[in-house]
Amino acid sequence: MAAESSDRAEPRRHHGHEEAHAAANREIVRRLKSAEGHIRGITRMVEDEAYCIDVLKQLKAVRAALDRAGELALETHLATCVTDGLRSDDELERARVIREIVDVFQANAKR
């Protein structure tokens, strides 16, 4: 049973876009693992009582890396899933895709 919200139990599949998603996912995972290692380093900095400004600079760098991973995910989604959804003959599917994107941008605007 797949729900219509983004927190559905079953993920939507990337019909016809598996290769694009796989390539993007590899890059996203690479960036996330890099950020994960960076965060461990920042944790050590805090534990070692590093200078506050140095910690803040490193936190900013991690946020930028996470933002870039999110941008890659969004870019891939727009180029594949959203494009397909907007080309759909199903009016409800087109409306769902538009609502999904509006929700993403509204959530990002609140950050």
Instruction: Write the CATH number for 62.
Output: 1.20.58.1000
Q: What is the pLDDT of residues 52-91, one digit of tens each?
A: 999 999 999 999 999 999 999 999 999 998 999 999 999 9
Whether the CB-CB separation of 72 and 24 falls below 8 Å is answered with: yes
Backbone region of residue 16 per phi and psi (left: phi > 0; alpha: psi in -120 to 50; beta: other values): left
pTM of the model: 0.74
Calpha distance 83→107 (Å, rounded): 21
Please give the tally of structural domains in the chain: 1
Say which DSSP state 3 is in.
Answer: -
Calpha distance 68→72 (Å, rounded): 6
Calpha distance 79→67 (Å, rounded): 18
Q: Does residue 1 surpass a pLDDT of 70? A: no
Calpha distance 106→110 (Å, rounded): 6
Write out the residue range of the structural domain in which residue 76 sits: 18-109
